[in-house]
């Protein structure tokens, strides 16, 4: 199935139909200050995609049949930069004990680890659970010892779609992934600077928002 990008006018037509349905093409044209001929291509596209339904002698109504197509297109086009949240970050030298405190204070499932301002790893609740079940002195051992290190961290950028972020979260079975920006360190080596995160909760909130009428 092909998904198209709606124009601003087409989105305005949808809003008008939702508010005044059933409504004729003449009435829609009047509200937009346009002619029927000018609207004909837009109305054709909206009916062909199933977003609007044309009822003879009645007018246009908003169709639930096209709702999934419209929302799926939106999810594909929403950028990570629009929904990312603030990450909880600790340094590699932070003790496991202090890192666990940060985990609960910030009510998060994953901590991201930095060294000199660059992303170097991540630690999840499962990682902390494993280490606390052993004989490790969590007050002395730094979190850098137990973290998953780069380049084994799955990341996204601001320009990636929300769909891509969700796909990576599901595919790699993680609670959240960092949003990064590529930069170079003093030696000219390409590194990652963390600018945010996308989590299962973030995406769930987005779906709830999209589901509102």
pLDDT > 60? residue 4:
no
Q: How far apart are CA 134 and CA 146, in angstroms?
A: 12
Q: How far apart are CA 48 and CA 60, in angstroms?
A: 13
Q: Is 40 helix (H, G, I), strand (E, B) or coil?
A: helix
Can you say how many angstroms the Cα of residue 170 is from the centroid of all Cα atoms in its chain?
A: 13
pTM of this structure = 0.68
Asked if domains 8-77 and 80-211 share a fold, the reply is no
- DSSP state at residue 85: B
Domain locations along the chain: 8-77, 80-211
Residues 132-171 pLDDT 10s: 998 899 999 999 999 999 999 999 999 999 989 999 998 9
58 forms beta bridges with: none
Residues 65-105 pLDDT 10s: 666 665 655 677 889 999 999 999 999 999 999 999 999 99
Tokens of 54: 């044309």
Q: How far apart are CA 209 and CA 29, in angstroms?
A: 30
Q: Is the dihedral angle over the CA atoms 68, 70, 74, 76 positive or is it negative?
A: positive
Class of domain 8-77 as given by CATH:
mainly alpha
Q: How far apart are CA 153 and CA 114, in angstroms?
A: 12
Is the model more confident about 54 or about 208? Answer: 54
**For the domain bounded by 80-211, which CATH number is listed?**
3.10.580.10
Q: How confident is the model at residue 45 (pLDDT cuts 50, 70, 90)?
A: confident
pLDDT > 50? residue 185:
yes
Tell me the C-alpha to C-alpha distance, in Å, between residue 70 and each of 22, 74, 126, 142: 20, 6, 38, 48
What's the mean per-residue pLDDT of the chain? 89
Contacts of 111 (CB under 8 A, 6+ apart): 88, 89, 90, 99, 102, 103, 122, 123, 143
């Amino acid at each position: 199935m092909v998904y198209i990008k709606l124009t601003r006018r087409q989105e305005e037509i949808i809003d008008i139909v939702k508010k005044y349905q059933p409504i004729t093409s003449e009435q829609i044209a009047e509200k937009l200050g346009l002619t029927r001929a000018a609207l004909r291509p837009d109305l054709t596209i909206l009916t062909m995609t199933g977003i609007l339904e044309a009822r003879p002698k009645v007018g246009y109504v908003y169709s639930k049949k096209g709702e999934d197509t419209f929302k799926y297109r939106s999810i594909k086009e929403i950028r990570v930069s629009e929904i990312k949240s603030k990450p909880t970050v600790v340094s590699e030298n932070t003790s496991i004990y202090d890192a666990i405190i940060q985990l609960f204070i910030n009510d998060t499932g994953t901590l991201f680890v930095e060294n000199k301002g660059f992303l170097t790893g991540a630690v999840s609740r499962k990682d902390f659970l494993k280490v606390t079940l052993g004989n490790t002195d969590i007050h002395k051992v730094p979190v850098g010892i137990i973290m998953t290190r780069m380049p084994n961290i799955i990341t996204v950028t601001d320009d990636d779609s929300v769909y891509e972020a969700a796909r990576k979260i599901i595919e790699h079975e993680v609670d959240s992934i960092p949003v990064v920006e590529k930069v170079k360190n003093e030696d000219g080596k390409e590194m990652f600077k963390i600018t945010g995160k996308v989590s299962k909760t973030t995406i769930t909130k987005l779906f709830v928002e999209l589901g509102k009428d």
